[in-house]
């Protein structure tokens, strides 16, 4: 025993010494900080995974909702937390790319974090009201070409994914549309239903009952693959929009400098949890799709997303505050 | 007769032992968190959600909903007795409820609050049963132009909400509107008055302002020795808690008016219980023969807002259940909880899941009845809370306020804010500046700005939208009439005073 301990101590010293040894990880509860409020998709994802990962790692995993400042409060907390793998963030393009690009924050969205894994995806769907008479992308584009303010689109805030998706759409179709921002998805869906706003690239789950009742029409899915819940709706890619990958993805990030072996344990645990059918099923009930990529896949996604989002932010004319 | 079968179905579900038990658990937790100042239903519901994973979905929802409306009952208790509102809506109840306590009529005030809550909630539930699908479609016709007009109407109607100097009231309302500007602008993302504090980017927390101006300020004032007369609790008997026949007669109409105001505004997904409660109070004051009694212990000032806030929390379920569109953070949470349990509210929910819908609605009524039965006998015990020495009671209250404001965003910064607003409120009290108009301005200001801008975006900048949309036009006409009437009365008064020196 003593010998092994001495050996591993020596190895650790030789390797430049991580303070916590990976064999011991995790030796205390892990906290997942969720930048979104209780009850939303991120809450479901974090709580479902907390339970799954806790069973695998044998330590409690707690979820803490730290809302505010468009995710910057949660992201700052994790960026400044000790890099030991015990504090994790529910990450997305807002935390890592959009918010640091638009607000003055005390962290760097890429350099201050270590990607652990991507976990889930909520498809964003281009939706229009049935009463608008628009039933295809071509009709929508034709209407938008009539004049610069013929079509309005809903978003959930300045610089939000629905806003940037519409910016993308406007570039590709060479149109100009009126941006109507809302505080969250619920009022946006209400106005879309009431016919007060023409279209929106919005999260699919709150729209589903209205697609089923026929009041809203889904024109395209902003994901690389069709959604299992909307098998008949083509992807934007199929409709001729190359690289239109604008769905809401969720990942898990740790503070920068988290030891590689700790990250490996976490990546593996999230992968195993997501492979369980009961977890996928619970997420699917709410229209959340499992989207697992390991830490390298996640890092590649971040790099790709960062280029695209920054370009869109610029073309939408958004400036840092 | 379909509806009777449906209600019978709902009753069958709601009176099964598990539903009754968890309904009781829910309303009891709700009352308790309602009594604690600042600790809101949202915190309690979030804590209880994981526990409900192990329950039948209908039962889980019955319990979570019970916490939500139970908190409205509890919220009035500390508000009436100590002038420390348990929930933001209860700040309105404090305006007349606390003066009643100071006159030794605490029992009557509490009784009135309970019975008004019960009647308001019950009528709203009946409206829900009869009109949910219709109301939901009607609510969709409300968009930003209509919301802006309702809020403008609310602001004008409520400008006289506080007793005393009208000038001071207006000043406070303007201050509230200004404080409401803090935070990032929805349309451009520009940071306004945030002084580079990340905690201020979403604006100042409503709970911090309400608990600061009402709760902490009251506690600070009591340190100055200006504390209410100690009540001899030995004298309190059941008889002294039941309002006289004359008083009962006086509150029936206010309860009904409050109920309809609350039910109507609550059913709209964009306004919420706080606006409804303020509106109900303002309407009571407008229709009263002698408005000067308000703020000095008018029983109508307790009855109407209590009926309104309970009616509105019940009808708030209408857009959530039948459209899947939640009106506020709490309803959004309830919607999330339903989705977690595999229930998808929406246009087809009532038809496809009748047992859940009707079971839930009937359970609301059972829950309200439980709250009444639970709370009436407790009034005596609550009143006895006044006999707790203040040097024990008030530090405990401060403790709960701090926990309550912290539990909203988990930000220590909000605790500093509540203390700061406590001092502001203390000086406002001292110099006779009323806090209610400030709170109202703070709530309505940002909403009005948001809806005004959005309405103009929809109309591409044309102001016609406010009179071309029929519902908006009706509200605009009422606003115009109210303004014309006040202008007319000012001119008449000036004419009179001009004539006098000549005469």
| Residue B221 near chain A (CB below 8 Å) | no
Closest chain A residue by Cα to residue B46: A38
- Average pLDDT of chain A, as a whole number: 88
Domain contains A195:
yes
A118 with A154, same domain? no
Beta strand B191-192 with A113-122 is unpaired
Contact B190 A321 (CB under 8 A): yes
| Residue B480 near chain A (CB below 8 Å) | no
Q: Which residues of B touch A70 (CB under 8 A)?
A: 184, 201
B496: burial class by Cβ within 10 Å (0-12, 13-18, 19+)? exposed
A190 with A152, same domain? yes
Task: Judge whether B255 and B127 are in contact, CB under 8 Å.
Answer: no
Shortest CB distance from A73 goes to which of B198, B332, B349? Answer: B198
- Choose the mutation target among A52, A186, A199, A319 for the interface with B, i.e. most B CBs under 10 Å: A186
Q: What is the ipTM of this complex?
A: 0.83
Other CB atoms within 10 Å distance of the CB of residue B126: 13
Q: How does residue A187 score in pLDDT terms, banded at 50, 70 and 90?
A: confident
The pLDDT assigned to A15 comes to 47
Q: Measure B68 CA to nearest chain A CA, in Å.
A: 15
The single-letter DSSP state of residue B325 is: -
pLDDT at B230 over 70: no
Query: Could you give the CA distance from residue B377 to residue A58 in angstroms, rounded to a whole number?
Result: 48
The pLDDT assigned to B502 comes to 46
Nearest to B209 by CA among B181, B185, B176: B176
Task: Judge whether A223 and A123 are in contact, CB under 8 Å.
Answer: yes
Cα-Cα-Cα-Cα torsion A104, A109, A110, A115, nearest 10 degrees, comes to 170
Shortest CB distance from A68 goes to which of B348, B409, B457? Answer: B409
The pLDDT assigned to A12 comes to 47
Domain contains A228:
no
Domain contains A109:
yes
Summarize pLDDT for A199-218 with one digit per residue, the tens: 999 999 889 889 988 999 99
Q: Which domain holds residue B444?
A: 2-468
Nearest to B275 by CA among B320, B308, B319, B324: B308
Give SS3 for A144.
helix
* Token pair belonging to A101: 């690009």
The pLDDT assigned to B114 comes to 92
The pLDDT assigned to B333 comes to 82
Q: How does residue B96 score in pLDDT terms, banded at 50, 70 and 90?
A: very high
Domain contains A14:
no
Shortest CB distance from A69 goes to which of B202, B327, B339? Answer: B202
Q: Which residues of A touch B270 (CB under 8 A)?
A: 187, 190
Closest chain A residue by Cα to residue B189: A158
Q: Measure A61 CA to nearest chain B CA, in Å.
A: 14
Contact B334 A159 (CB under 8 A): no
pLDDT at A13 over 60: no
Q: Which residues of B touch A191 (CB under 8 A)?
A: 143-144
The residue from A203, A221, A239 where one domain ends is A221
List beta partners, residue A235.
A221
Q: Measure B198 CA to nearest chain A CA, in Å.
A: 6
The pLDDT assigned to B342 comes to 74
Summarize pLDDT for B376-407 with one digit per residue, the tens: 888 878 877 777 887 888 888 889 889 888 88
Summarize pLDDT for B270-318 with one digit per residue, the tens: 777 888 899 899 889 888 888 888 888 899 999 999 999 999 999 999 8
Pure H helices in A161-294: 161-173, 185-193, 204-213, 260-274, 277-284
Domain contains B494:
no
| Residue B377 near chain A (CB below 8 Å) | no
A161 with A137, same domain? yes
CATH number of the domain to which A177 belongs: 3.40.190.10
Domain contains B488:
no
CATH number of the domain to which A89 belongs: 3.40.190.150
Q: How does residue A16 score in pLDDT terms, banded at 50, 70 and 90?
A: very low
User: Domain count of chain B?
Assistant: 1
| Residue B202 near chain A (CB below 8 Å) | yes
Beta strand A289-293 with A113-122 is antiparallel
Query: Could you give the CA distance from residue A191 to residue B455 in angstroms, rounded to a whole number?
Result: 11
Nearest to B264 by CA among B280, B284, B287, B285: B280
Domain contains B60:
yes
pLDDT at B47 over 70: yes
A163 with A179, same domain? yes
Q: Which domain holds residue A118?
A: 24-122+248-315
Q: Measure A40 CA to nearest chain B CA, in Å.
A: 6
Domain contains A239:
no
CA of A156: how far to CAs of A36, A219, A225, B190, B443, in Å?
A: 14, 19, 24, 16, 21
The pLDDT assigned to B287 comes to 86
pLDDT at A1 over 80: no
């Amino acid at each position: 025993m003593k010998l092994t301990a001495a050996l591993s101590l020596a190895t650790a010293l030789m390797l430049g010494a991580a303070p916590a040894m990976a064999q011991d990880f995790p030796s205390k509860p892990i906290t997942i900080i969720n930048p979104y409020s209780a009850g939303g998709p991120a809450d479901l994802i974090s709580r479902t995974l907390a339970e799954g990962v806790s069973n695998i790692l044998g330590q409690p995993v707690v979820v803490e909702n730290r809302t505010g400042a468009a995710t910057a409060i949660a992201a700052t907390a994790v960026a400044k937390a000790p890099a030991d793998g015990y504090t994790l963030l529910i990450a997305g393009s807002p935390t890592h790319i959009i918010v640091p690009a638009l607000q003055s924050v005390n962290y760097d969205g890429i350099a201050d974090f270590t990607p652990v894994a991507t976990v889930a995806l909520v498809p964003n769907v281009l939706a229009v009201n049935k009463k608008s008479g628009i039933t295809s992308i071509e009709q929508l584009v034709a209407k938008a070409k009539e004049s610069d303010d013929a079509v309005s689109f809903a978003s959930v805030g300045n610089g939000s994914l629905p806003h940037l998706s519409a910016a993308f759409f406007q570039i590709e179709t060479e149109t100009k549309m009126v941006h109507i921002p809302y505080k969250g998805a619920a009022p946006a869906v209400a106005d879309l239903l009431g016919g007060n706003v023409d279209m929106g690239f919005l999260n699919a789950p709150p729209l589903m009952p209205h697609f089923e009742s026929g009041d809203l029409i889904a024109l395209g899915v902003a994901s690389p693959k069709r959604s299992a819940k909307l098998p008949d709706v083509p992807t934007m890619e199929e409709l001729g929009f190359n690289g239109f990958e604008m769905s809401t993805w969720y990942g898990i990030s740790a503070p920068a400098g988290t030891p590689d072996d700790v990250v490996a344990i976490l990546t593996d645990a999230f992968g195993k949890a997501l492979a369980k059918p009961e977890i996928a099923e619970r997420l699917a009930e709410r229209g959340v799709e499992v989207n697992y990529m390991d830490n390298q896949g996640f890092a590649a996604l971040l790099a790709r997303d960062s280029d695209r989002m920054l370009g869109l932010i610029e073309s939408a004319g958004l400036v840092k505050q | 007769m379909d509806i009777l079968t449906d209600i019978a179905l709902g009753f069958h579900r709601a009176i099964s032992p598990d539903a009754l038990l968890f309904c009781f658990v829910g309303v009891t937790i709700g009352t308790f968190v309602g009594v604690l100042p600042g600790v809101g239903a949202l915190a309690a519901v979030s804590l209880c959600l994981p526990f409900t994973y192990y329950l039948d979905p209908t039962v889980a929802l019955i319990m979570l909903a019970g916490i939500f409306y139970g908190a409205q009952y509890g919220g009035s208790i500390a508000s009436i007795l100590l002038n420390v509102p348990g929930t933001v809506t209860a700040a309105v109840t404090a305006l007349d409820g606390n003066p009643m306590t100071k006159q030794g009529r605490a029992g009557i005030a509490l009784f009135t609050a309970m019975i008004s809550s019960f009647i308001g909630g019950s009528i709203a539930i009946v409206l829900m049963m009869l009109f949910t699908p219709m109301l939901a479609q009607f609510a969709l016709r409300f968009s930003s132009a209509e919301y802006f007009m309702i809020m403008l109407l609310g602001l004008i109607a409520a400008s006289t909400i506080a007793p005393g100097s009208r000038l001071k009231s207006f000043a406070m309302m303007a201050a509230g509107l200004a404080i409401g500007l803090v935070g990032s602008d929805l349309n451009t993302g520009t940071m306004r008055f945030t002084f580079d504090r990340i905690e201020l980017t979403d604006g100042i927390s409503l709970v911090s302002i309400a608990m600061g101006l009402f709760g902490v300020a009251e506690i600070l004032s009591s340190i100055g020795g200006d504390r209410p007369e100690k009540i001899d609790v030995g004298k309190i008997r059941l008889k002294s808690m039941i309002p006289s026949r004359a008083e009962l007669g006086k509150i029936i109409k206010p309860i009904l008016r409050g109920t309809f105001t609350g039910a109507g505004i609550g059913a709209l997904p964009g306004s919420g219980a706080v606006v409804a409660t303020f509106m109900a109070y303002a309407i009571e004051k407008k229709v009263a023969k002698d408005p000067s009694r308000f703020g000095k212990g008018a029983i109508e000032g307790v009855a109407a807002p209590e009926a309104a806030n309970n009616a509105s929390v019940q009808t708030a379920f209408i857009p959530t259940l039948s459209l899947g569109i939640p009106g506020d953070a709490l309803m959004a949470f309830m919607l999330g909880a339903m989705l977690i349990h595999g229930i998808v509210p929406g246009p087809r929910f009532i038809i496809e899941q009748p047992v859940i819908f009707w079971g839930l609605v009937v359970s609301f009524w059972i829950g309200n009845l439980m709250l009444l039965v639970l709370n009436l006998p407790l009034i005596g015990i609550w009143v006895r809370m006044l006999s707790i020495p203040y040097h024990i009671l008030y530090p405990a209250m401060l403790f709960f306020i701090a926990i309550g404001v912290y539990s909203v965003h988990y930000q220590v910064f909000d605790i500093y804010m509540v203390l700061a607003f406590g001092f502001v409120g203390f000086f406002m009290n001292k110099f006779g500046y009323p806090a209610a108009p400030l709170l109202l301005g703070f709530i309505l200001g940002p909403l009005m700005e948001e809806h005004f801008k959005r309405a103009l975006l929809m109309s591409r900048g044309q102001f016609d939208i406010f009179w071309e949309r029929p519902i908006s036009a009706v509200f605009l006409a009422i606003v115009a009439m109210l303004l014309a009437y006040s202008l007319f009365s000012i001119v008449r008064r000036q004419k009179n005073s001009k004539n006098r020196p000549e005469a």
